[in-house]
Amino acid sequence: MIRIGDYVEAKLIAQIKDNQWKVNSSHFSKNTTAILVTRSTKLYNKNDIESLWAFDIRGNNILLSDSQFGRLPISDRMRPRYIISLQSVLSFLDSSEVNISVNPKHFSEVKGMLNRCVCKDQWDWFPVYEAFNFPPMKLLAKMAIEFGKLAKAYKNNDELEKIAAKRNILDSKIDINLRNGLSKILENTPKLNSATSFKTITITKAQNEEIILDKNEDPFIVSQVSRARIERANKSHEHTLQILVNTLQKNGFQVEYSKLIDAYCRLKTGPAIFEVKSITSNNERSQSRKAISQLYEYRYLHSVPNSSLWIVFSRNPFSNWIVNYLENDRGIGVLWVEKDILKGRSIQKLFNNWK
């Protein structure tokens, strides 16, 4: 039985329109009508055999595609938006209250995720649909309307509409698909080689885990790991790292660490490596130098050449020229902690203006 997303070897039988061909395959039943809707510039001929995938199935009618449109992986730009919106919406659905604080934009984002599956009009619609575990399209269309109602109800502070929409959503059991979607999106996030994920926003235990080194490992790596362990034992360093990880996770980013790297995640602009440094007026220059060399080395050693580089200081640097040098000359993002809040001129670059 063919389902949406499946590939089949199909034979072109007759051209219907400029971009449509009637096709046949041994995978189809006798009553099946299958149409190739091509996005390719390739010139097809009758009896050509092509590998096509089913993007729409309605009864005995199947539409097939020769393009990767709809199948591209979820991008770094969209992934944190999906994650934070699903987390927020599921928290709302799990709560016995309807007046908990939720950004209406999160309801709208989930509505958009459902609609892109129904309309099949975005580059990543199939990975999203697959993450949701292939629910019926009619259910997705119906629930998209309900999430739209929730967004509007929150904007208008309409409690009765909130209650009605929430009841309809829970009765549909779509929350099961949303949970599956969140789990799959997190699971499929590209990972850093030889790294461990921060499982929760409390990182002390994770950062104090024993690091086992291979006795044959490069002495340079051993020395770097030893230095990293000493730094992580510093309370100021640990506190700064805690705030960095919390902030990233609350904005939908998955954060990892390795023997060397303090924190790594995939921002909306791509992979990013963070080095945390505790500073005083006496050591900020030497700490900055160490951070620069470490970031370049770690990026090379972990084979992530396209990663952006970030230094996170325990406080606002004492010398303004250091921030200017790092950001403008070295192209390194600079952040710092101020009253337990992550700040810095690079903060908007970090989140790309979407929360």
Q: Domains, the chain, ranges and CATH? A: 7-65 (2.40.50), 79-187 (no CATH), 195-351 (3.40.1350)
Provide the H-helix boundaries in 188-218: 204-207
Predicted confidence at residue 203, as pLDDT, reads: 41
The separation between CA 293 and the C-alpha centre of its own chain, rounded to angstroms, equals 29
Give the residue-averaged pLDDT of 302-312: 95
Q: With a cut of 60, say whether residue 286 has pLDDT above it.
A: yes
The CA-based angle 14-20-23, given to 5 degrees, is 45
Q: With a cut of 80, say whether residue 200 has pLDDT above it.
A: no
Instruction: Return the percentage of the chain with pLDDT > 70, whole number.
Output: 88
> In whole angstroms, what is the distance from residue 184 CA to residue 6 CA?
19
> In whole angstroms, what is the distance from residue 8 CA to residue 156 CA?
49
Predicted confidence at residue 229, as pLDDT, reads: 54
Can you count the helices (H) and strands (E) in the chain? 12, 12
33-53 pLDDT, tens digit each? 999 999 988 899 999 999 999
Of 11-15, 82-86, 199-203, least confident by mean pLDDT is: 199-203
Q: With a cut of 50, say whether residue 233 has pLDDT above it.
A: no
Q: With a cut of 70, say whether residue 223 has pLDDT above it.
A: no
Q: With a cut of 90, say whether residue 205 has pLDDT above it.
A: no
**Residue with tokens 């080095």, as numbered in its chain:** 275
Residue 192 pLDDT level (bands cut at 50, 70, 90): confident
Give the residue-averaged pLDDT of 146-170: 96
Contacts of 209 (CB under 8 A, 6+ apart): 196
Predicted confidence at residue 355, as pLDDT, reads: 41
Give the residue-averaged pLDDT of 10-28: 95
